[in-house]
Each structure stands twice: as structure tokens, then as C-alpha cells.
Structure 1
Amino acid sequence: MNDTWKPLEVSPDSTGHAPTVAGLVAHLDSVPDLGALLAREKALLLRGFAVTPDELDTVMDLLLPNRLSYVHGNSPRTKVGDNVYTSTEYPSRYTISMHGELSYAASWPSRLMFYCQVAAETGGATPVLDAQRWLEVLDPEVRDAFAGGVRYLQLLHDGTGLGKSWRETFETDDRAQVERFLADSDATVEWTADGLRVSHTRPATTRHPVTGTEVWFNQVDQWHPAGLEDEVARVMSEVMKPEELPQYVTFADGSPIPPEYITQIRDRGLSTAVDVAWRPGDVLVIDNVLVAHGRRPYTGDRRVLVAMSG
């Protein structure tokens, strides 16, 4: 296992192409198998090609051949284009811990692409982490405890309440469409007077479909109160029952997860990650199974867009 992994930086100097979007496109067109390259390198940082928002679609068409919507996503975002979103709008003073995108869902994107339009005044890096390494740095006791998987619990309100509504989460007003979507995920679905309650059980690890590598792939530290920095969320967890929270997580059998397991998972992930410090025009592509990602706190304006593909 390589303890010094970091994204492969692709630049005009390394490729021999012009420092323009046309140069980047020419380089990407010359790569015989981008999927194989990404499976080998795990993440690519495309830097120095001066990508602008107006030219982003051209790049995305090559990097994300099957762009997906953010259906069932739990992070606050704004849709700004054709399945292009702002990165999470969680308050800038907080760290977002490492995670695989939609790892709590029945299906998830295979690739994520991030684009830096505006870099933060200070901070705001996107930490990335070899998810195999994340699994390895956890204590055997913690790994063994999660062998049976985890149970995610969501309470999605009907328009007024804490967290996201079911309409925002599934990008529809049609309850039947939500039920059809969740029917494919083996989830337990219950409509209530307040909205929608969803419960589903998932493994804590998965294997990459190409490399076979086993990786830590879940969001337990983001769904558990012990992993949160947000003061409001912490107070909510102290005064509300778990089933009243917008989201919560237990072991697969419904038993509680010890808080010290959660903090170990969060802290070792963040401390092992490699920070991508953004420059305007940067594009980062990651294999969503092999690489976890997060966000460091920041000051000033920051605009990073994200898109994903199957």
C-alpha cells in the first residue's frame, strides 16, 4: 500500500499541450482509456488549462460520459446547469469529513468532477483520501464491528422542518416516483404526517468493480451526531430522539454505534487525506469508490462546482 498517494497532476508541461481548454481537450482525446487511467491513478488534477465556466461543458462531456442528477443526495446544493451543482453549501466555518459520494444509497456515481471557479481567500481545500488506506488505518476492533454493515435512517420533511424535504432530495413532487426509485434500493419507506421516513441497510465497505480493492465506503461519521461540528446539530441530538433527527445511523442490527468509533473514523480519515488547494480553472476528477473526499473550512468567497457520472 502506498502511503504517499496523491492525485496525478496533469498540466500543459506534462502533456505538451497548450495551456488552454483546447489543449486539455486534445490531451483527453489522446488518452486511449480514461477509465483505466482513473482506476490506476484514482484521481486526476487537471491544472493550468485555464478552464472557464463557459467552457466547462466541453470538458465534462469527455470526463463524465453519463452525467447524473443528485437524486437522494443529503447535502445542501444548488443546481446551476445540466446536472451540475454547487459543492455543498454547508457553512464555511465547518470541516466536511471524508466520505464516498452517495455511499449510503443503493447506487452511487463512479466518478466525480470538481471545478474551481473561485478559490477561497483562505482554506477551502478539498481533501482526498485513498479509501483503501482509510480502511487500513482504522483499528481492527472498529473494522470488525462494522462487518455486518450499517443502517441509515432518514426523516425527510414535507416542506417545513429540519434538513432537506423529500421533494428537494428526490427532485420531484411525485410520491409515486419516489417510491419507484426507493423500490430498487431495498429501503423501508413510510409516509408520515410530517413527510417521509426511509431506512436502509448497507455494507460499510465495498470492492472496486475493476481493481477488486476493498475500501471503506460509507457515511457513518456524517450521519452520527458524534461526528458533527455543527452546534445546532449537536444540540438537536441532545434534545431529540434518534428517530426524530433528519438523519441517523446505527449498526445493521439497530444497536448504537459507540461515539469513539465515529470520532476515530472521522479523525483518521481527515488526518490521512491529501489536500487539493484550489486554483481558479482547476478540474479534479476522482474515482468515487477508490477515493473519499471532504472540505476544509475557509474564509471569503469560494465557488466549486461538482458533477458526477455513472
Structure 2
Amino acid sequence: MNALNAWAPLEIRPSDIGAPATPEGLVAHLDGLGDGLAPLLTEHKALVFRDFQVPADGLDPVMDRLLPRRLAYVNGNSPRTKVGSNVYTSTEYPPEFTISMHNELSYASSWPTRLMFYCDVAPRTGGATPVVDAQLWLESLDDEVREAYRDGVRYTQNLHDGKGLGKSWQDTFETDDRDRVDAYLKEAGSEWSWRPDGSVRVSTVRPATLRHPVTGTEVWFNQSDQWHPAALGDETAKALAQIMAPEELPQSVTFADGRPIPDDHVIQVRDRGLDNAVDVDWHVGDLLLIDNILVAHGRRSFTGPRRVLVAMTD
């Protein structure tokens, strides 16, 4: 954690609240909070519930209280598997790689307000979920970088029809109905075109920052570093450049007016997010609840099996 960043998620254990170390104890505590959960989360930005021994098959009563209306992961770009009623593996990105900081679905026209993570299987080593105060992330960037992003960014996706690099449009939108995809993209304000091979190209302009609806705090809120080839590493970027043009990549990003985003800008964004992050280490049964606007999250590399589930709500 950056020495200047004193923020960390609020940890809540049974002994802190005088509750039994059981799932029922956590549910009773959340029932007691009632409408107080929302302001508590806004105040602390992220909450970690530890030692309540919540089993994977006992998640629903807890999620019903933490996430009033669970959302499907529509328009998501991370590889994951649906394992329940709008419950997913958090990611299936290879374990040797760190996933940089991001606010979930910040590239979309709508996004979840809350995310809940649950540890089903803890890794042997590593595998923490880093979280960063998104206001601090914004303030940590050089003035030149913040100014460059002032007018927002343009995200471009090339979604195949079942075979190719990246995700298919069927997986991305959780449907095989083109009309439903058209309706979603129209409502999102995207530009799109279907191709003869069944793939679809989607382009969407989104802001680079956002203000929280309750606090008014301005935060960094885009995924330009994750969508930019420079963030893939030199060797991977070079290999991709040899087989396809930038505009044909599964996903890419420019400034809103189409100008390229300099490599050093996205590297600064990526690194300062990670540098200012606080690691949430996992033990089986732990839960992490975050405000998806005030806090960005990622994943550290790990060894051994790791299974962290995620669900979200608006």
C-alpha cells in the first residue's frame, strides 16, 4: 500500500459485532443493519466479512441481503463460468498473471453498483484481490495524463461467432438472438455492424472519470489500460501486431476522437492503480463487498487451485 494511502476495507468479524461465527450470525447481522448497509458501504467503500464460515452452498441467504437484485454478466469481457443464478467464477485468466485494477463494466453503458466476492477455494500462495480507492487512483496520475483523457475513450470489440480470438458475441451478451444484441447495443448508444462471417464489431464512447451519485467524488472509471495492446507486454503485443491490425484485435481502445492513446499513458494508469492498491487475502468462506464506483479491483498471481466467485447488483 502507498504510504500516503491510509484507506483500507473495513473488516468485520464475529467478535467485532458480538455475533456467532456462523452463516446465520452474518445473516442476522445484515438483517439488523437493514438500510444501514448502503451508507456503511459508501463510508468505507469496501467491506470484508471474515470467519463466518459461509459454505458455497449457503451463499444465497447472504447474497440476498448484500445484493438486492443480482445481475447477469452481460457485455463482460473477462473469461468466466456461470455457476449459479447470476453467480460466476471471478475470472479464468491464467494464474501466473496479475489482473490490473478496474471497475467492473466501466466500459459499458451501465454497470453494477456493488460487487460481492466469495472465497470457495483459497490459493496455496498469492491470489489476493487488490482493491484501490478510485479517487486516489485518479489523483495519483500526472496532470498531463488526466488532461489527455478529459474527453473520454472509445472502446472497440470484435466479437466472433464461435471461433476466433477472444469471446464470442453469444458468450458476451448471454444470448444467441441477434435482435436482442441489437436492442442492447442501441440502448447503450454503441455503433455496431454485423459481418458476413457472423461476427460483430462494436464501438462505444465512454467517459474516463465518473462522479459517485451519493458522495459526488470524482473517480477514475475506465479500462483503457486493459484494452490497450501496450498492457499485454512487449512480446505479446509484438506477436499480435504480426498477425492482425490494431483495429482487428478482439478489443482495443483509443481516445474518444479516435486518436491513439500513448503507451506510456496506459502503463502509468496500470502501474499507479496497482501501486496504490490494498491486498485482500483470501481464506475459505471470506466475503468481500465493494462499491464498484468508489473502488476498483484486480487479482494477484497465484499458485495452487483458487476459486473465487462473484455476483453483482445494480
TM-score in terms of structure 2 length? 0.96
Question: Does the C-alpha gap of structure 1 residues 59 and 181 become closer, same or farther in structure 2, counting only changes over 3 Å?
Answer: same
Distance 1:182 1:230 in 2: 33
Q: Per the alignment, do residues 234 and 75 of structure 1 end up closer, same or farther by CA in structure 2, a change over 3 Å counting?
A: farther
Using the size of structure 1 for normalisation, the TM-score is 0.98
- SS for the counterpart of 2:270 is helix
- Structure 1 238/148 Cα, relative in aligned 2: closer, same or farther at 3 Å? farther
* Structure 1 contact 228–234 (Cα < 8 Å) conserved: no
Q: Distance in 1 between matches of 2:156 and 2:308?
A: 29
CA 1:115–1:233 in structure 2 vs 1: closer, same or farther (change >3 Å)? Answer: farther
- Is 2:89 the partner of 1:114? no
Deviations 1:262-282 (A, max 9, x none): 100000100100000101100
Shift of 1:193: 2.2
Q: Which residue of 2 aligns with 1:193?
A: 196
Instruction: Note the alpha carbon deviations across 1:152-201, whole angstroms, 9 max, x for none.
Output: 00000011110000000000010000000111111001001230000000
Q: Name structure 1 gaps, 5 residues minimum.
A: none
**One of 217, 221, 225 as aligned partner of 1:217:** 221
Alpha-carbon RMSD: 1.2
The 1:156/1:43 distance shift into structure 2, 3 A limit, reads same
Q: Aligned AA for 2:277?
A: A
Gaps in structure 2 of 5+ consecutive residues: none
Instruction: Report % sequence identity.
Output: 64
Give, in whole Å, the separation in 2 of the partners of 1:238 and 1:126: 34
**In the alignment, residue 37 of structure 1 is paired with which amino acid?**
L
Structure 2 residue aligned with 1:281, among 280, 285, 289? 285
Aligned counterparts of 1:274 and 1:63: Cα–Cα separation in 2: 22
Instruction: Give the match for residue 305 of structure 1.
Output: 309
**Counterpart-to-counterpart distance in 1, 2:173 and 2:291:** 24
- Which of 1, 9, 12 is the equivalent residue of 1:7? 9
- How far residue 243 of structure 1 moved from its aligned partner, in angstroms, is 1.3
Where do 1:127-146 residues align within 5 Å? 127-146=130-149
Structure 1 pair 257/246, CA: closer, same or farther in 2 (3 Å)? same
Displacement of 1:51 in angstroms is: 0.6
Q: CA deviation at 1:234?
A: 5.0
The amino acid of 1:168's aligned partner reads D
Determine which of 7, 16, 19 is the counterpart of 1:17: 19
User: How far 1:115 sits from its partner (Å)?
Assistant: 0.1
1-structure distance, mates of 2:288, 2:115 = 8
Report the count of equivalent residues.
309
- Which residue of the partner structure matches residue 227 of structure 1? 231
Runs of 4+ in structure 1 deviating by more than 3 angstroms, as ranges, are 229-234
Q: What residue in structure 2 maps to residue 35 of structure 1?
A: 38
Match of residue 265 from structure 1? 269
Kept after mapping to 1: 8 A contact 2:230/2:237: no
1:100 matched to 2:65? The reply is no
